[in-house]
Structure 1
Amino acid sequence: MADTVLAHRASRPFQPWMLAAGLVLPAAMLSLLSLAGTLPPALWTQALLAPDMSDIRQLLFYDSLLPRSAAAVLAGAALALAGAIFQQVLRNPLASPSTLGISAGAKLALALATLWAPGLFAFGSEWVALAGGAGALAIVFALSWRKGLSPLAVVLAGLVLALYCGALAAALVLFNEHYLLGLFIWGNGSLVQQGWSTVTRLAIQIAVVGGLLALMIRPLTVLSLEEAGAQSLGVSLHGTRLAALSLAVALSAFVVSGIGVFGFIGLIAPALARLSGARRLRDQLVWSPVIGAGLLWLTDQLVLRTGGIAGGILPTGAVTAVFGSPLLLWLLPRLRTAAAPPRSEAAPGSVSVGRPALIVGSLAILLALGLVLSLTLGRAPDGRWAIAGFAELSGLMPWRAPRALAALFAGGMLALAGCILQRLTRNPMASPEVLGVGAGAAFGLLLAIYTVSAANRELLLAASCAGAFAVLAVIVLLSRKTGFSADRVLLAGIALGALCDALVGAITASGDPHALLLLNWMTGSTYQVDGPQAVWAAGCAVVLIGLTALCVRWLDLMPLGDAPGQAVGLNLNRVRFILLGLSAVLTAAGTLVVGPLTFVGLMAPHLASRLGLRRALPQLAGAVLVGGLLMLVADWLGRMIAFPWQMPAGLIATLIGGPVLMWLLARK
């Protein structure tokens, strides 16, 4: 009998408590080491019961390290519990506060209220964050409603919304530099504490919401049934979903308002709980918070142990995003979706409208007029609008011409890269910004800046190209098995972009003097563009556009699928490699000038297609002209809107392009 029991125990699979112990015990040991390194254990009782205010070690022990560990445990548990609820209610294993845009919406709401409506905090910061998170979830549902709230559509809408909210938050930080460090560190999830007030408030909030969720375990379990089965058991599916989603949003908002944004904890912990054997909802709601608490606690302790490397202020939230993005990529192939890619609007089978040569010629004339107006129309030092004559132009050209030309050529290169990617992946939503190619280029550039003391422009371009090409290569590898399914390509790109952005955030949050310069560049600033840089951008654009023109035949065939290309003897692997390389170099060169977030690579090919330019060569030419015009106008608006202050051209293009991207997502 004993042998049978032992054999049964030995054959039992991995259990959730084993994983939880594997996270909590190392975190506790590291925490004890940190505490012992700050204060001798003999003084711990005194520091806990009656800390000596004159002893800095006891104050650090009681008011900083202990509440920091408690904040990590509470935040990790709350986000994990919220993620488990989202995944159960939406029947979506990728749903979490970060992938649904809820954390980003709460963060943006807090930033807006801090700068422009501080009176709202009289009711409590958690209510401001709750409004932002609820608004973000409502937008996500609106964007994915016509697609039946399918798992991929919901997550894709959430990630796109988070991307746009991040761009808006970057704009707020850029124009409030005196708040730069605080907003940047808080926005990336910092667990630094200066007392117990935040932790106490968060503990009460989590206890209340957790108690309400405990009362809903049975109705939440019934959510897995169909409508008729749930009604026969006396459960209102709509009411239960609304109540559960409201409580999950509240948990997310409480963490964001009290501590900051921690990426992907709500995704990782429930996934790990299920993988370790928690199959029933009751078990998932118990073990997900424990695993989430242990994971964030352990991550924070590792950050503390390596704090000297990053100046002691490395945001824990950015580090969790570094772990979470690979998990999102790993979970992505396990979602069911149609393998057949949708037909792109750029497909050559579409009927062209009008005469392509006439349309392209009109766009060229419009671009020339835009360039003339950009160089001549502006505001005088007293704020009045004025058109510069020939006499004034000689003095203004060295200031206006380099920026205008650099923005024009960078916009053309990003638009061309987006057109190539859309035709190559047969995905009308593909672009350097959405697929994370721009973020990869930014990460490559960041590494070059931080590792090479005097990096020249050629080295920066090579590093950016390497980062962009690496992202594209990973996307291709992850998407080939599904025939480049649109949703999978986009989610893979956004996950990689989030990973690169998290790495960039973790490095720049170290307090290095390069941080502000890098933030200006990431928002698309052309402030420091001079004549040689404009000439360099023009040279890159001319060469790369010429090389792309040689690939027109391939780009005509790629939207039709693999069969036509194979029928005419194309080596598809080599063709994809060349086209990906071209798009990577185009993205890197454009990104060096106007930053990684512009959405020009998404908008320009669509606008060219709307004008009737469907075949490869006309669409490529139209996209280049439209992209150049968009960035030229964005640069001019950036110089004029808030005169005498200036807004980055890339940021203006992002603020315009974000709603366009969401509109495209909302279409059937």
Structure 2
Amino acid sequence: MTTRTWLALLAAFLFAAVLWFLAALRLLPTDWPAFPFDASTMKVDQILFAFGVMPRGAIALMAGAILGLAGALLQAVLRNPVADPTTLGISAGAQLALVMTTIYAPALLEQGRWVVALAGAGTAAALVMLIGARRAFAPVTMVIAGMLVGMTASAIATAITLSRGEYLLSLVIWNGGSLVQQDWGGVRSLGLVLISGAAGAALLARPLRVLSLGAAGAGALGLNVAAIRFAVIILAVFLAGAVSAELGLIGFVGLAAPAFARSLGARTMGQVLALAPFLGAILLSACDGVVLGLSDLTGEMFPTGALTGLIGGPLLIWLLPRLRGSTPPGTEAAEGPAPRLDRPGRVLIALVVATVVLAVLLVWIGRVPQGWAVLDWNSFRDFLPLRLPRLIAAGAAGSLLAIAGAILQRMTANPLASPEVLGVSGGASIGYAAVLFLMVSPGPTERMIGTMLGGAVALILVSRFASRRDMPAERILLAGIAVSSMAAALLSALMATGSAQSWQVLAWLSGSSGNVGPAQAAVLAALALIVVMLALGAWRWLELLPLGSEVASGLGVPLTRARLGLVAIAGIATGAATVLVGPLSFVGLMAPHMARRLGFARARDHICGAALIGAILMISADFGARMAGFPYELPLGLFASLLGAPWLVWLMMRMRR
């Protein structure tokens, strides 16, 4: 590495140190306590400094170094420049395990959170690696699978957190990745983890250098590739799980540190493994210094992990053009050869009838304090005007999400494509939260406008990225995931403030149709019809794009215009549905697959079938949300995500090369 590189590293270290020093001076300008610290002889400000600020600064360095090392190990063993504990779902797995244990089995935490966090992180990593093994660990597939697993885990954790209000604030702050410390215990624990991880990385550095030749080349030289991969992944899971157990969810430090190391001139495996922890420590320490500075200016203490998430999204987009190992279009079959209906029109008519019958039945059946009941005719007529708008809205939202999912899956030839990862849902969430925090008592109209604008901004970001680079379509999918990650990080920061708006954001994130009126239902229904017509108008593009870019271009498809147009239709549909459902639904993933399994192979039939199935799924979820917790209404998004999560896991496990 050059002298310029070392000067850059020194400047970054000094910047982080100055930020921490300024924060320390604001708390205690003079009379710093002397080591060793004795609380019985110290003033209150000195105790806060010695057992709060100082261990916080130390643990930022420790955690950053650990995450940087974990990211470097994962990127080396998978030969994937965008692999890290966040993009592979490892940190989110630990988060979900800790949230579920805190709420449902708190006794398991009496001996500490480490075992639970490591179990969750290991389960998520095992799932992603099993999926990756079926695709020869292709980088794009690995990241899509990992981030979808992570999004699923985060969605379920959010829904569970919302369902138990007594744990809400503490879990939200912890999920954001707070570095607040009360003693030096966490520093000692993570210090031992860092030493162990560094020793393990030193032992694995030479096999990783051999593995950098490729699995075939390393195997020919006598390296046990499977054993090395297993050892490195176990070490990375241990490192990431330890940080999650101690501090919560801190994202993208493991992605940024190795990338910065390579950009500063690190070329060999040893250089990257040595430099990434140092850069990770500087990065997290600098982010925490910024958080401490903002807390003095605003009076709010944001979780540091949310700020690091804002770095990861742009960095992931920057790295996408450099990502190798793209999945060839049309090669990721999810469920084997799908059947093909000779007369799909009959099945479509049957689905229309089923949708209407289901809606009527779900209005007719209900719960009363004495149990389940079937309404008489007079009661049915009285309840119909009350329930019909929300049924129409739920069905329209399900149709919109299903159409968006069908478009994305056909456009990318990727069975894991869904509206949730396009980035529009995340952008809509930011728009909704911005209206709540920036306006005084915003009404439904202002909230809807803010939500649509947020979705439009996210759509513009993804579209501009797609239009400026000639990339395979699955890279556009990753760009959407990056936008979603940035949105999730910002929401974590806003919700961790503990304000009244935080509760409103959390409630909306889970989805609800309880406040839908006739006008909103009519707008959603009209928009669903418009989107169906637009998608049917693009049927030729949807027929040819799954064959691959070269074939589609040879048959006259204008690739850039087609992709941008289809992304726009999917974005509009997702943004409109998100206003009602929230960003936690997986209907856009399930409905298109169900339509394919029923035999809707042609694009037109597939679009119509997916729209009807999406409506049926969301109407069913709305009924479950109303009845499961009677007399209280549970979140609509909770039911949709609980339907989608098992489907997602099953679908990814069936993927084959």
TM-score (norm 2): 0.91
Q: Which moved more, 1:168-177 or 1:293-302?
A: 168-177
Instruction: Say which of 4, 22, 26 aligns to 1:37.
Output: 26
Quote the residue 2:365 is aligned against. Answer: 377
Q: Does 1:465 align with 2:452?
A: yes
Quote the residue 1:509 is aligned against. Answer: 496
Displacement, 1:482? 7.3
Q: Deviations over 1:49-99 (max 9, x none)?
A: 445666221122112111111111111011111111112222222221111
Name the CA shift for 1:49/1:340 in 2 (closer, same or farther; >3 Å): closer
Quote the residue 1:105 is aligned against. Answer: 93
Quote the residue 1:3 is aligned against. Answer: none
Name the CA shift for 1:119/1:57 in 2 (closer, same or farther; >3 Å): same
Instruction: Say which of 258, 264, 289 aligns to 1:276.
Output: 264
Q: Does 1:151 align with 2:139?
A: yes
Quote the residue 2:211 is aligned against. Answer: 223
SS of residue matched to 2:154:
helix
Name the CA shift for 1:662/1:489 in 2 (closer, same or farther; >3 Å): farther
Report if aligned partners of 1:136, 1:161 keep a CA contact under 8 Å in 2.
yes
Q: Does 1:23 align with 2:12?
A: yes
Quote the residue 2:348 is aligned against. Answer: 360
Report if aligned partners of 1:16, 1:287 keep a CA contact under 8 Å in 2.
no
Given residue 440 of structure 1, which amino acid in structure 2 is its aligned partner? G
Name the CA shift for 1:120/1:19 in 2 (closer, same or farther; >3 Å): farther
CA distance in structure 2 between the partners assigned to 1:490 and 1:548 by the alignment: 19
Instruction: Say which of 587, 603, 608 aligns to 2:590.
Output: 603
CA distance in structure 2 between the partners assigned to 1:161 and 1:536 by the alignment: 33
Name the CA shift for 1:553/1:214 in 2 (closer, same or farther; >3 Å): closer
Q: Deviations over 1:225-279 (max 9, x none)?
A: 5679868988644444333322221111111111111101011101111211222
Name the CA shift for 1:548/1:151 in 2 (closer, same or farther; >3 Å): closer
CA distance in structure 2 between the partners assigned to 1:621 and 1:322 by the alignment: 38
Given residue 211 of structure 2, which amino acid in structure 1 is its aligned partner? L
Displacement, 1:554? 5.5
Q: Deviations over 1:501-550 (max 9, x none)?
A: 11222223222311111111111222333444333433433444455555
Name the CA shift for 1:206/1:263 in 2 (closer, same or farther; >3 Å): same
CA distance in structure 2 between the partners assigned to 1:547 and 1:458 by the alignment: 26
CA distance in structure 1 between the partners assigned to 2:517 and 2:468 by the alignment: 46
Q: Which moved more, 1:128-137 or 1:653-662?
A: 653-662
Q: Which moved more, 1:534-543 or 1:154-163?
A: 534-543
Name the CA shift for 1:535/1:225 in 2 (closer, same or farther; >3 Å): closer
Displacement, 1:134? 1.1
Displacement, 1:173? 0.6
Q: Which moved more, 1:458-467 or 1:513-522?
A: 458-467
Q: Does 1:243 align with 2:231?
A: yes
CA distance in structure 1 between the partners assigned to 2:131 and 2:650 by the alignment: 8
Calculate percent identity across the aligned residue pairs: 40
CA distance in structure 1 between the partners assigned to 2:580 and 2:224 by the alignment: 54
TM-score (norm 1): 0.89
SS of residue matched to 1:44:
coil
Name the CA shift for 1:314/1:249 in 2 (closer, same or farther; >3 Å): same
Instruction: Say which of 631, 648, 659 aligns to 2:618.
Output: 631
Q: Which moved more, 1:261-270 or 1:474-483?
A: 474-483
CA distance in structure 1 between the partners assigned to 2:449 and 2:542 by the alignment: 25
SS of residue matched to 2:373:
strand
Given residue 540 of structure 1, which amino acid in structure 2 is its aligned partner? L
Q: Does 1:213 align with 2:201?
A: yes
- After superposition, the CA RMSD in angstroms is 3.1
Name the CA shift for 1:372/1:262 in 2 (closer, same or farther; >3 Å): same
CA distance in structure 1 between the partners assigned to 2:532 and 2:218 by the alignment: 59
Quote the residue 1:392 is aligned against. Answer: 379
Report if aligned partners of 2:72, 2:276 keep a CA contact under 8 Å in 1.
yes
SS of residue matched to 2:420:
coil
Name the CA shift for 1:607/1:236 in 2 (closer, same or farther; >3 Å): closer
Displacement, 1:28? 0.9
Quote the residue 1:4 is aligned against. Answer: none
SS of residue matched to 2:302:
coil
CA distance in structure 1 between the partners assigned to 2:390 and 2:569 by the alignment: 24
Q: Residues 297-446 of structure 1: matches in 2 within 5 Å?
A: 297-308=285-296, 311-338=299-326, 341-342=329-330, 352-382=340-370, 384-397=371-384, 399-446=386-433
Name the CA shift for 1:428/1:253 in 2 (closer, same or farther; >3 Å): closer
Report if aligned partners of 2:420, 2:584 keep a CA contact under 8 Å in 1.
yes
Q: Residues 497-576 of structure 1: matches in 2 within 5 Å?
A: 497-546=484-533, 548-552=535-539, 555=542, 576=563
Name the CA shift for 1:203/1:428 in 2 (closer, same or farther; >3 Å): closer
Quote the residue 2:107 is aligned against. Answer: 119
CA distance in structure 2 between the partners assigned to 1:270 and 1:561 by the alignment: 33
Quote the residue 1:5 is aligned against. Answer: none
Name the CA shift for 1:170/1:14 in 2 (closer, same or farther; >3 Å): farther
SS of residue matched to 1:658:
helix
Quote the residue 2:600 is aligned against. Answer: 613
SS of residue matched to 2:134:
helix
Q: Does 1:96 align with 2:87?
A: no
Name the CA shift for 1:422/1:461 in 2 (closer, same or farther; >3 Å): farther
Q: Deviations over 1:400-438 (max 9, x none)?
A: 333322211111122222233334445443321122221
Q: Which moved more, 1:397-406 or 1:231-240?
A: 231-240
CA distance in structure 1 between the partners assigned to 2:223 and 2:539 by the alignment: 59
Quote the residue 1:9 is aligned against. Answer: none
Q: Which moved more, 1:520-529 or 1:265-274?
A: 520-529
Aligned residues: 653
Quote the residue 1:648 is aligned against. Answer: 635
Q: Which moved more, 1:180-189 or 1:198-207?
A: 198-207
CA distance in structure 1 between the partners assigned to 2:528 and 2:439 by the alignment: 26
Given residue 306 of structure 1, which amino acid in structure 2 is its aligned partner? L
Quote the residue 1:8 is aligned against. Answer: none
Report if aligned partners of 2:348, 2:608 keep a CA contact under 8 Å in 1.
yes
CA distance in structure 2 between the partners assigned to 1:444 and 1:631 by the alignment: 23
CA distance in structure 2 between the partners assigned to 1:352 and 1:524 by the alignment: 35
Q: Does 1:586 align with 2:581?
A: no
Q: Deviations over 1:334-386 (max 9, x none)?
A: 1223485327999xx9984131221111001110111012111122213x222
Please, which runs of 5 or more residues in structure 2 have no aligned partner?
Answer: none
Displacement, 1:564? 8.7
Given residue 596 of structure 1, which amino acid in structure 2 is its aligned partner? P
Q: Does 1:75 align with 2:63?
A: yes
CA distance in structure 2 between the partners assigned to 1:519 and 1:507 by the alignment: 10
CA distance in structure 1 between the partners assigned to 2:260 and 2:112 by the alignment: 34
Q: Residues 118-137 of structure 1: matches in 2 within 5 Å?
A: 118-137=106-125
Report if aligned partners of 1:344, 1:423 keep a CA contact under 8 Å in 2.
no
CA distance in structure 2 between the partners assigned to 1:230 and 1:15 by the alignment: 35
Quote the residue 2:73 is aligned against. Answer: 85
Quote the residue 1:192 is aligned against. Answer: 180
Given residue 651 of structure 2, which amino acid in structure 1 is its aligned partner? L
Report if aligned partners of 1:479, 1:485 keep a CA contact under 8 Å in 2.
no
Please, which runs of 5 or more residues in structure 1 have no aligned partner?
Answer: 1-11
Q: Deviations over 1:288-311 (max 9, x none)?
A: 111100110000000110125664
